[in-house]
Amino acid sequence: MKNKEKEVLKKTIIRSLLLLTSIFSLIFGMLITIEGITSNKEVKEVVVNYESNGNIDYQINLKENDFYNIEDTNNKNIISKYIEDINLRFNYEFSSSKMLNSKLKYSLTLYLISEYTINNTKEEIWKQEYELIPEIEELKNNSSIVKISKDVTFNYDEYNEVAKKIRSESGVLTDSYIKVEFNINNDLNYLEKDATFNDEHTLIAKISLLENIASFEKINEFNNKEAMYNTIDKNTNYVLLLTGICLLIVSFLFLGTSLKMFLNTSAESKYIIAQNKILKRYGDVIAETSTKPDFKESNIIEITNFIDIVNIEDELRIPILFYENIKGKESWFIIINNDKVYRYILKIERKEKK
């Protein structure tokens, strides 16, 4: 009996592995099929990696005074009456991973602006524009680096006096400041891929007027690392799709077969356990026979509960004969009394046949 249990256990392990293999194969087939279908999509490919930087440097030239060192020119706040003139330098640098053609346009404009505060909101009431550098275009071919630096120097008192005049003549307590804008427009072309893109920025320096303490502010300084992409259309991968479908069909067939084998093995295991339980518990009243009993001349009475046949044995005092009619599938437990045969049949219950 122990050999039977070992054999059933071995079958169970093997068929469980086959079932798991078929499930994994089915999942793999589904993934391949999905990949084949979804291959029809847009994919972004990096064409060029690039970096652009922009910053502002300033230098303040001072009048003779007893408060500041003439060489100390980088204070962000300084007493305005000691300022002689101001120098601003606007720097722009572009670098890329590929050789590009560049068409760079730039201009430098100074604005003198006066504002008035209404309901805690500053409203611009006057603005004067001074074109320091009109728009200039520079071409640079087959290069991965574009650099430019432009300087502007202006007298602080000159613009401060204009701001005072506006305040005096208008009779309005205005606030004024200087705004210097450096506009950059860099059109770039990557010939190898026939790809174009634009790098556009505005650097702004702001200096207060009409204040005892002049303040300096840098606006829109930048350091950007970006990439230009090319969109590629990927069509359905029919080879992958067909492979996935074939694998799905084979997996479904294999899954059905392995599932049936697994269920059969499970039923056989239950049968062996039930048989062993009967033989161990009632072994003293059971006699095993290898010869199939002949019932042709007998009246066969089918017993549906094994306990009932044990009760018959106890009453008649006739041993129960055990005969395995179908190995691993069906066992007979029999009591022969003259022309009567009492028989209990233990067999595999197959759920798939319901």
Q: Where are the domains of the chain?
A: 2-32+251-353, 45-234
Residue with tokens 């006096």: 161
With a CB cutoff of 8 Å and minimum separation 6, the contacts of 180 are 88, 108, 109, 110, 111, 132, 152, 204, 205, 206, 207
DSSP state of 234: E
Residue with tokens 């062996």: 272
Is the pLDDT at 20 greater than 80? The verdict is no
The predicted structure's pLDDT at residue 353 = 41
Is the pLDDT at 5 greater than 60? The verdict is no
Contacts 24+ apart (CB under 8 A), 217-222: 218/55, 218/56, 220/54, 221/54, 221/55, 221/56, 222/52, 222/53, 222/54
Q: Bridge partners of 66?
A: none
pTM of the model: 0.56
User: What strand order describes the sheet that includes 299-303?
Assistant: 286-288, 320-326, 330-337, 340-347, 299-303
- Residue-wise pLDDT for 71-120, tens only, equals 655 666 788 999 999 999 999 999 999 999 999 999 999 999 999 988 88
With a CB cutoff of 8 Å and minimum separation 6, the contacts of 172 are 116, 125
Please state, in angstroms and rounded to a whole number, the distance separating the CA atoms of residues 247 and 239. 12
Element (H, E) at 117: strand 83-118
The predicted structure's pLDDT at residue 206 = 95
The predicted structure's pLDDT at residue 114 = 95
Using the Cα atoms of residue 166, residue 167, residue 170 and residue 173 in order, give the sign of their dihedral: positive
Pinpoint the alpha helices (H) of the chain.
2-38, 156-170, 238-281, 306-316
Share of the chain above pLDDT 90, in %: 42
Using the Cα atoms of residue 289, residue 295, residue 297 and residue 299 in order, give the sign of their dihedral: positive
